Chain A
Amino acid sequence: MFIVHRSLLIVDLNIAAYIIINLLLFSSWHVILFRHRETLSFADRIIGVFVLGLAQIIATELLLGVVFKRLFAAPLFGVNAAISSAVLIYSAAAFKTQKTRASVLTEVADNVVRFFNILKTNPILLSIFIIFSISICWIIFLGYLFPSYTWDALWYHLPIVGYIMQSGAIREIPNDFIISQFINIFPKNIELFFVWNIIFLKSEVLADLSQLAFTIIGLFTIYSMSLKLQLKEKNAVFAALLFFFAPIIILQSTTNYVDITVSVLFLIAVNFLIKNNPGNIKDRAHEPGGGIPVVLSGLAAGILLGSKGSGPLFIIVLSAAIVIQETIKCLSERKTPAVQKRRGFGASSRLLLIYFATPVLIMGGYWYFKNWALYNNPVYPMEVSIFNITLFKGLYKEFLEPAPAVFKDLSPLKKLLYVWMERDEYYFYDSRRSGFGPLWFILFLPALIFSLIHAAIKKRYGFLAVSAILVCAFLLYPRNWNTRYVIFLFGLGALAYGYILDYSNDKGKALEVIAVLLAGYTALASNSPCVTPSQIKKFLRLPAGERTIARHAPFSIDLHARQEYGHWIWISNNISKGDTLAYTFEPLFLAPLWNSAFSNKVAYIKSDSYNNWLKKLDENNAGYALIRRNSEEDKWIDREREIFSSAGWLGGLKERFKIVYSDENYKIARYEKNED
């Protein structure tokens, strides 16, 4: 009884620690940004709080993991609590009156009331919001109920988390397998966010909902961009809510992938570069306090740079946009009086270098400098060549994964149309040949074309500039037919839809009705074949500790992983905190070798001779060995056990291996170090 109470208390403490540190972290940035309410709208401050909080999480984990090699729950809690408390005290002290302090809280309530007043005036908008709210609840329910089941999550996203958590350090692992090489070279900012969502809770139960936070912030971003592009508030809410209704966004919101994250961070970076009346993007840097949005843009872009290998492409596009705007501004300033001319290209470039480029390098540069130092190529293992001149040597020149066979003879445009028309028989989280849903093909695509023509005729340069940035990134992205890589284009579609609603004025009712019908269809049709109603029922009946990947047996991995389920279940039930599991072969997935709290250690231990193997097991303090049946290690253990059974009666001999799990393909042996 006492033990049950104690474990419940520990679980409660873990949850309390997670809630307290998140509240402290995000509220401190909220209070500090409140002081800049003249520069930043409420929506921008919500997005800004998220960006600053995320930046703090990543920066502190990098500090503890790379420099101190002490990335564990207690130091991470301590460092963040100290930083956030200091930020909170500093910003709260700056408020001169009690009234100002109270308005920090009342502002949130006022905005919620205002939002619901907008919904009340439009039943169609209210319907979309209800569908959105139900979908969000469903996503949270599924994310909570099921473990992370997606291919890449099990293959490298979660193993990265496992390696960091078992050593408390962010460092290279031995290149034992091909996947180890990728685990080493991938930028890991978002995996650090996954670590954050596991390390305090001591459970991965919420980790697969990490991307949902980005989805919701993506809605705020589209709303904020719409307002800056001078759309009506009602239409901005329409555009924002519809951004959610892409099947790829709905399905990926419960996965440990990074695609929503990358696109939303890109949209955030663009959003913070837009001025309220965006003829020129960079002008903000010259306003009093105007550097803050540019810094926030740089932070978002930096986090993006450190999230995926394609990050540099987005930075190139953003930098080019800034430089072009600078040039235009500089040329137009030639006609202005000499006093203003003094700012000139050089001064504003310096401002942008400090405000934009510095946070980009701080938040995302580490991974590329590390790869450069270790592999002589910042984007290793990809080779970088321009005009047949190799800048950085690598192992691969193009994607390893082959394109779908049906694309073989299709032109780039036909590939896009093929995917946008969605010829697949179901939606899938990695969306190879579908993923944008009917909203894109039926509503957003024509809206985008119409709005671009209209904006060009009416000289609405803000909308054109934002479209140019997003379309450029889309055109430059390799494999842009894969919808998960270019979710930001769906965001542009949502903006274009808001633009068309604005243009249609009171005649837009038909468009609103079509939107709600398609949103409802998308919500109903975005069911993953990996999560069936029978599996939901089965998991609802299972105790929380037994809701593991092996019991889930998702369609995406089942065919390949069936023979692994037995030992995965044994590991999740029996390997506890501090245990080291030694494995002796290349596993299908590394992630299931850790328990759900990632509190054990795993090590690949292989050797040519038995004695050497034992020595390595001892050195790694291995408690268990996972071996393949009929492998060399299996024979060694059998031989030793035979010797023990025939000569054990002599006494003094201690059995080193005890088989604790065995199936047709695998065995797990408990290993006891022989002190003699």
Chain B
Amino acid sequence: MKRMKIKGRENTLQILFMLIILVLAVVYFTLPERTLFIENQMKWWGEFWDVFGK
């Protein structure tokens, strides 16, 4: 019984941890500045493709 209780608590903690990670990921990737950042990186890789890929 005690082991099951500990197991259940561990599961809850793990779900809570995953939820926090999910929230932080959403916060990080939906910042307005992220669009500009990703645009810049896309530009860099676009140029890379133009220079070396074609």
Contacts and interface: CB of A to CB of B under 8 A. Distances in A.
A424 B14 contact: no
A446 B17 contact: yes
A426 B27 CA distance: 18
B51 A510 contact: no
A507 interface: yes
Interface string A513-548: 010000000001101010011101100000000000
Contacts of A441: 24, 28
A445 interface: yes
A533 B36 CA distance: 19
B47 A532 contact: yes
A507 B14 contact: yes
B31 A426 contact: no
A524 B41 contact: yes
Interface string B4-43: 0000000001100110110011011101010011101100
A42 interface: no
A524 B45 contact: yes
B33 A423 contact: yes
Contact of B41 (A423, A504, A525, A537): A525
A421 interface: yes
A425 B36 contact: yes
B41 A422 contact: no
A426 B40 contact: yes
Q: How large is the interface on A (under 10, 10 to 19, 20 to 34, 35 or more residues)?
A: 20 to 34
B14 A504 contact: yes
Interface centre among A450, A514, A533, by most chain B C-beta atoms within 10 angstroms, is A533
B21 A536 contact: no
B28 A527 contact: no
Contacts of B25: 438, 442, 514
Contacts of B52: 533, 537
Interface in A444-459: 445-446, 450
A140 interface: no
Contacts of A525: 37-38, 41
A531 to B, nearest CB: 9
Contacts of B31: 421-423
A443 interface: yes
Interface in A155-188: none
A426 to B, nearest CB: 5
Interface residues of B, number: 25
Interface of B is mostly: helix
A527 B17 contact: no
A357 to B, nearest CB: 42
A533 B14 contact: no
A450 B19 CA distance: 13
Contacts of B51: 533-534, 536-537
A209 interface: no
Contacts of B36: 425
Given A450-B17, A500-B17, A532-B47, A527 B41 contact: yes
Contact of B28 (A422, A507, A529): A422
Contacts of B29: 438
Nearest to A434: B37
A533 B28 contact: no
Nearest to A505: B10
Interface string A414-426: 0000000111111
Contacts of A438: 25, 28-29
A18 B18 CA distance: 50
A423 B34 CA distance: 7
Interface in A403-443: 421-426, 438, 441-443
B28 A443 contact: no
A442 B24 contact: yes
Contacts of B44: 527, 532-533
Contacts of A514: 21, 25
Contacts of A524: 41, 45
Nearest to A531: B44
B14 to A, nearest CB: 6
A450 B31 CA distance: 25
A421 B27 contact: yes
B15 to A, nearest CB: 10
Given A527-B41, A533-B52, A510 B18 contact: yes
A360 to B, nearest CB: 39
A424 B37 contact: yes
A424 B28 contact: no
A172 to B, nearest CB: 43
A413 to B, nearest CB: 16
A533 B24 contact: no
B28 A426 contact: no
Contacts of B18: 510-511
Contacts of B24: 441-442, 445-446
Given A442-B25, A525-B37, 14 more contacts: A422-B37, A424-B37, A426-B41, A438-B28, A441-B28, A442-B21, A442-B24, A445-B24, A507-B14, A511-B18, A527-B41, A529-B40, A533-B47, A533-B52
21 contacts: A421-B28, A422-B33, A422-B37, A423-B31, A424-B37, A425-B36, A425-B40, A426-B37, A426-B40, A426-B41, A438-B29, A441-B24, A442-B21, A442-B25, A450-B17, A507-B14, A511-B18, A525-B37, A532-B47, A533-B48, A537-B52
Interface of A: 421-426, 438, 441-443, 445-446, 450, 500, 504, 507, 510-511, 514, 524-525, 527, 529, 532-534, 536-537
Interface of B: 13-14, 17-18, 20-21, 24-25, 27-29, 31, 33, 36-38, 40-41, 44-45, 47-48, 50-52
Query: Which 5 residue pairs spanning A and B have beta carbons closest together?
Result: A533-B48, A533-B51, A423-B33, A425-B36, A533-B47
